[in-house]
Structure 1
């Protein structure tokens, strides 16, 4: 009976084992281990956080990874390992499971402009980092194992110092240049991906806002990894924002490195370090984590539910408050004294520049301020000089930012031959005239003893330079067509002066150096310092002969009488000079008009043409110009044509009359008389020269400018 009972018990035990073993075999493969925790502060959870080194949980609930001591390391890991590797029974095809984490942190540097070195969020095979070093290794790795594939470490680094690893990667942080960036690291401190710290504004998703990790203010971070798609997204932003940015700072797809790093069980946590010269306090205010399941999302941490942020006690490096107060006071006194000195100098300078206006100044507008001219010519520097002469100096200037708005400033010095009377005469005459073949006088200025006239800047310089200086320098000869058009332009300008303006203007110094050529090769008659104005119907007389030898009419030496006819004589000489390329006289007995008249009488007038022209000229126009020039050089003023007739001859509107050779020329005695009477009052034009690229002439020293 006992034997039967024992048999029955044995059968029951075997039956029970058969039933229970299959049940356990069926449950094991369906198990899905998950890890999920949320720490809103760390008081009461000390047993769940494993800390080493400088890391500690404070009584206020904050997890402090490091204080601001030098060369310290601190780590803090969740006390249980997390299963992140999904093998599915085959270790060769293991995949990393989805996980998500969020944490709020604060970094407080030692001073307002110095701190380091940062911290990491880490997946580690161990709940600590034995052998890890401080400074740039952030308590995560060391010089020996940095980059070793056996580390099995994944980290997100929050780097606040630009160290050697940044240099190796060629990373230059544009935000502040001291390593304020986020990096994604695999087994190494050399980041696979890195970005300057910032976030994308939800209201403007393409606009990235930068901010500082070492601000001393709470900052929230999110790290989400989706296992099926191998997508890693990271977002960081100031915890004071009302909502999480939709667009992550870093988004990587796929992250294949992670499957080679993650082991079957990993620990999650933080590492941080300081350096010898740089240090910061690193705090974690709250932390949530979730792994396994379908798309785990870590809980968002509300700032109001977390412990109070640590006080920002970063010290400002510099002087103490008393020293700073003294520096500010002294600086203020210095600024006040300098300001008073500045205003005193300006006031004194203005007093010195104040001038009593004379009657003629009140009647003539367009007065320039001396300070504006001083600025336009860079203080009348030497490199602005474009011409010099007996009257003074001509400077090139610019009165606006436009490159075309340039001026020429003729500065008449006190010891110049051209005095105030001639200065006023030029303003009175040229200042009211307006013609395309006259230089445009833009204004004037009288400053102390300096007299200044302001003209348009004419870059091609004078006719004198185009006839003589430039051919010698570059070999470029003024063409006949250009010469003929220039001659007609000068005639048009003189016609305007003699007949078309409200008063008669006698220029009294017509010569090539007083004719300026603009960009379109149009002539402009200038330098009206010797000009005289008189009403129509009245006669003009002078007490002293003025002009330039070679261009002065014979009657000037005998009667001292200048008129429009004397201007016609000078134009005639100028016209012959344009055709022949020869100056009107020399140191001997040569006189251009006599020489051309002699060639005309002998039927050889074309011999007078400038040989540099070769055969490149119109014979009819050349003969016309030479004959008109001779008519203008007639000894008797009454026999000279008016400028209106001259222009009609040159335009072909009137036939040129024959020249009576016996009645035309001056006798030797008259020329001798002319030379003796003008001695001491005029100087020769020979040897004078023009400087190209300015709008007034430089050889006024060859003209008498005193006595009217």
Structure 2
């Protein structure tokens, strides 16, 4: 009965304490008067030497945004880059919505900006700049007509308010011309569009403009003014009208600017000064108005019974709870066994400790089925002879990628499945900033499923060979990040076994991550042989990937009679014309010495293992300019080929199965 007595005392004390806390909490604070919460930002310029503010603490630069030391302005993009996007965000959130009254804050944002063509060419230029209100400070939107506002990671519930200054006409978005202002609410398609040519304003004429964006939260009324810098606010605005922003606001939001450029005829957007003031309403929480004098007055008048009912109900509740507890203990007590000990030791069952949220775990098939909506066709991201890949959503709302391996692929040899299970669990322990984390696995009912984290911006091949043109700075970073990831995997005695552009991913900040592991090389019978060659295969495949990144070409020629990329690269090396292999779509912003060095590293990785192929640790040092790149042979080694995209077999242990 000792345990029962302790439990009884604990329940009484806990109940009494909880009721007391609830009562005290109810009395401690009451709603006070309505007050104003004011926030004011002042950036006369964005020079790093500005003594007024510390820019690296106050302004967060994302994507291709940078601060120009020449003119003290924020530039988006930092150079005349094609198909790029960036954001400049004030680092702290600002209260823009009162959840109690559902009232938006009133604010005024005034800034000077310039849209100009650095090349000074007469043809039209394209791009756009936006003042944005967003729920976070780390998302980078898509380039092109998206103006850096939204990307594939932004779901329907992503809240964004923007006023865009667009210099590109996109008919699919309802743009009237290439010189308009748009008001965007949760979408890249403007809810309201204003042709500013009617007001004598030309956004991309290279002059410095000043914009005033004024919003009255109580009236839900928006005004936008535009004019040249150095004048007072014009009497006539380009827009004024009723607009309710409350559905698109959280209580605290981030404010700033986003911009983007298109595939060609790019422009640079500069924000040179910025003032922002917001006023939101809130109710002050103040201590209770109860005083010692009022308390004394109540005690002198016993007829005043405002507190009696609640006290009586609390007393009754405690008595009832005590009775229920005693009855429950009486009927659930166990008969005492006759033995030498005076008490029965209560040994609790050992509970299984939950896995940390960052550690890969085992999923059951029901969880996977629910996440992929029953492996629905609409959830399919891709497929090949080995597997089908689905997009899924776990019960906690996290988006994942579910790779379901074919039963035919693994049923031929039981050893394949055993080796794969062991390898999946080993890779699941890896945590590296350039490796896609394995969220878990499912080996159930002959199913072999691997669950990865979802990477919003998709795979590298879509950016290289699909929409847009990645600038050189991005491509160079991709090559270095992939090298870092493979070097780390090899240091852990692991291999990727599927290095290609479709297995390299870009997150919302354009950080490169390596994923979609190959795991088992089914064409190789010997496990020992596989362990000996798999890392060297990674290095060869990395070399081919480097050539694809620099050239912007696929490894396989698309036209009959043309050389494959690897053949072409060696041919150009033999004639000392490697510079012709660099993707011309990147324009003049390519660092030629850097690009040639990267090409040489890529070619070195395709050498025979006994003829100079480096390991990944050495590759990282070459790319970081920590050691000189050895001289390449002038002719391609004869035993480098052949390889087959269908069988995946190579001479000289040089390549892997192409999946």
TM-score normalised by structure 1 residue count: 0.37
Report the TM-score, using the length of structure 2 for normalisation.
0.40
Larger radius of gyration: 1
